[in-house]
Each structure stands twice: as C-alpha cells, then as structure tokens.
A = this chain, B = another copy of it.
Amino acid sequence: VNWLVILAGGRGERFWPLSRTARPKQFLRLLGDKTLLQETASRVAGLVDREHTLVVTGRDYQALVAEQLPGARVLAEPVGRNTAASIAWAAFVVRREDPGGVMAVLPSDHAVGDVPQFSDAVARAMQFAGREGRMTLLGVKPTRPETGYGYIEIREPSRPNQVVPVAAFVEKPDVKRAEAMLASGRFFWNAGMFMLPVNVVWQALEQQLPRVVAAVQASDRPDQFDAQFRALDPVSFDVGVMEHSRDLSMLPLDVGWDDVGSFAAVARILANRAPDRVVWERVQDVTVIGDDGPWIAGIGLEHLVVVRTPDAVLILPPEEAQAVRALVRQLTTIERGSEIT
C-alpha cells in the first residue's frame, strides 16, 4: 500500500518571532488556515490513509504532531541526525508491516501552488516506483538560476508527466552554471521528495549505511536506541543513498513549488492577501506576516516585511531575511531575550 513519510525535524530559526524553539516553522499557520505540516498531509490525503502516515520529528514536537495530525504515527528522534537516519527509521517500520509498500517521503514545510496537479504527480510517481521497483524523485522545474539548491540532471529535456531516468546529481552551483542549467531544460531542483519502494530503499540503506540500519533496528529497545542513534554521523539521504544509487527515476514537477525558505518567500507568496488589523497611509510593497498580535500601522513606508506576534514584532526589508538567524543568536545574549526565543 501507499505510505506517507513526512520529515518534520526542522528547527525554523529563520522564522523568528513566528517560530520559536518550542514551535518551528512546520507547525505554524504560515500561509493559511492550516499549518505547513497539515497542508503537506492534506495534499496527498486522497492517496494515503492517516494510519499509513508517519511523521519523523524531534521528541519535543511529538505533542504538536499528535495535535495537528491526529491518527498519524510519530517517530520521535532523540536528536536530529539528518534525513538518511529519518528515512531509514521510517523504512524499518513500514517494511515490517508491508514489505511491498511504497513510501512517499515529503518535507513538512514547503508550499505548493497547484495542489491537484501535485497530487497527481505523487500518485503517478508512486505507481511507477511500485510497479518498476525503482526509487523515483520528483524534480522541480526551475524558474530561476537558483544557487541555493542541488539539481537533478536528466539526459534529454523532459516532457510533462513522463518519468525519466536520472543521469546525475549536481551540488549547489555558482550563478553561471545555474544559468546554463536553467537554459538546457535538463536540470531540476532536488526538493527532497522521494517515492521509495520500501524493499528497494532498505537494500540500498543496508549497502550504503549499515550503521544507520543497525541503529534504527534497535528502535524497539529504548536502552540501546538512544545511544546508537546519537552516535550516528549526520548524513543526508541525498548524499548517503541517492548519489550512490543507479536506476533512479525522476518525474518533472511544475506546480508552483516553494521551499518557504525565509520571510522573503512568505512575503512573495502572501503578497496579494489583505491582512487583518492593518492600517496604511501611503504604504507600498509592505507585507504583514502573522495574524496574532497588535494592529500594525504604517505611514510613508516601502518594501518591508513586518512579522507580527503578540510578544515581538520584527521589521526588515525582504533582502535581509537570511539575517534573522543572526538576530536570534544576538537575542539569546540579551537580558530577557531568551524569554522570547
């Protein structure tokens, strides 16, 4: 059967003050009435039962997952050890119950514009993966020469809805390389969305990452699991498994995908929404993010993002969105600052 594995271990430091240590980005209503985690599950709700949904997260967030996705199974990691370990644990659990199953592995904190088309793509890729016994990625059609993502290379420019063989993986490129890749039509963003026949991925894990496999096999023995899991080196599934695998496939995806990597991305997605409890006088291109907290009023402003919460308001131009992390680090050194991180 179809399984959904949601990777929800992120800390969301770039989303302060909306996200806090106790409530990272994936658990926030950042773009609408549902949290990003809930949106991730609901996009494929027609393909996977809730009882076949696994959420891999940190122990601190078990309660949040239970609250937001009741009925889903939570795999609560003692510490974060990157995606290879998370996917391995999920594969161990699924394989025991359903050795013929196919897992759709999805990040918990991305945005998708065209949900029906996305859902179709996942269905098609899962079906292909199961039928052919091949690990199959969704590759996002690039819309700009992005230097912040890894790319998936295919041999010939793709046609829509056609699964094609993967030729190679490309690390984050420089701008020149990124522009050439964009122009060629043969490179797709690796957004971390994997459709995995559980027996196939388990075999690959056994070959490539035997220590990870041993650790997750100990998950039923709490006395051993913690220590073994903690002792693992953090390795991503891309580096630890995908890049050593042959016979990978990819389905191109062109659905208005966004990794919601910063407030700049949120502002872009929300730009046309009329926010609640805001009053402007001669204000242009200013986006208010966050529905709780004080009224926001502005006069004579341009090109800003205002992030609103009940106990902290952050003001910045969107270009500065990457500096939120530095601000949070500074906060932890300020008197009373840690109260709000």
B residues within 8 A CB of A17? 295, 297
In addition to A295-B340, A297-B313, 5 A-B residue pairs with Cβ atoms within 8 Å of each other are A277-B336, A293-B294, A295-B313, A301-B316, A313-B313
B residues within 8 A CB of A308? 313
Which of B315, B319, B340 is in CB contact (< 8 Å) with A306? Answer: B315
How many residues of chain A have a CB within 8 Å of chain B? 38
Asked whether A311 is an interface residue with its Cβ less than 8 Å from the other chain, the reply is yes
Indicate if the CB atoms of B330 and A281 lie closer than 8 Å.
yes
Binary interface encoding of chain A residues 292-332 relative to chain B, with 1 for a CB under 8 A from any of its CBs, else 0 = 01111111110010101111111111011001101100110
Measured in the bound complex, the distance between the Cα atoms of B298 and A17 in whole Å is 11
Asked whether A22 is an interface residue with its Cβ less than 8 Å from the other chain, the reply is no
Measured in the bound complex, the distance between the Cα atoms of B295 and A315 in whole Å is 11
Task: Give the distance to chain B from A153, nearest Cβ to Cβ, in Å.
Answer: 37
B residues within 8 A CB of A316? 298-301
B residues within 8 A CB of A299? 314-317, 320, 323-324, 327
Asked whether A221 is an interface residue with its Cβ less than 8 Å from the other chain, the reply is no
Measured in the bound complex, the distance between the Cα atoms of B297 and A180 in whole Å is 40
B residues within 8 A CB of A281? 320, 323, 326-327, 330
Asked whether A282 is an interface residue with its Cβ less than 8 Å from the other chain, the reply is yes
Asked whether A210 is an interface residue with its Cβ less than 8 Å from the other chain, the reply is no
Task: Give the distance to chain B from A312, nearest Cβ to Cβ, in Å.
Answer: 4
Name A316's closest neighbour in chain B (CB-CB).
B299
Name A325's closest neighbour in chain B (CB-CB).
B281
Which of B296, B301, B312, B324 is in CB contact (< 8 Å) with A295? Answer: B312
Q: How many copies does the complex hold?
A: 2
B residues within 8 A CB of A300? 316-317, 319-320, 323
Measured in the bound complex, the distance between the Cα atoms of B40 and A18 in whole Å is 42
B residues within 8 A CB of A78? none
Asked whether A337 is an interface residue with its Cβ less than 8 Å from the other chain, the reply is yes
Indicate if the CB atoms of A315 and B340 lie closer than 8 Å.
no
Indicate if the CB atoms of B310 and A294 lie closer than 8 Å.
yes
Which of B306, B317, B331 is in CB contact (< 8 Å) with A279? Answer: B331
Binary interface encoding of chain A residues 247-290 relative to chain B, with 1 for a CB under 8 A from any of its CBs, else 0 = 00000000000000000000000000000010101100000000
Task: Give the distance to chain B from A264, nearest Cβ to Cβ, in Å.
Answer: 12
Indicate if the CB atoms of A315 and B298 lie closer than 8 Å.
yes
Name A326's closest neighbour in chain B (CB-CB).
B281
Are A294 and B312 CB-contacts (below 8 A) given A281-B330, A317-B300, A330-B279?
Answer: yes
Measured in the bound complex, the distance between the Cα atoms of B302 and A301 in whole Å is 12
B residues within 8 A CB of A296? 312-313, 315
Task: Give the distance to chain B from A329, nearest Cβ to Cβ, in Å.
Answer: 10
Binary interface encoding of chain A residues 210-225 relative to chain B, with 1 for a CB under 8 A from any of its CBs, else 0 = 0000000000000000
Task: Give the distance to chain B from A316, nearest Cβ to Cβ, in Å.
Answer: 4
Measured in the bound complex, the distance between the Cα atoms of B331 and A296 in whole Å is 11
Name A331's closest neighbour in chain B (CB-CB).
B279
Name A319's closest neighbour in chain B (CB-CB).
B300
Can you name 16 A-B residue pairings with CB atoms under 8 Å?
Answer: A17-B295, A277-B336, A279-B327, A281-B327, A293-B294, A294-B311, A294-B312, A296-B315, A297-B315, A298-B314, A298-B315, A299-B324, A299-B327, A301-B315, A301-B316, A315-B315
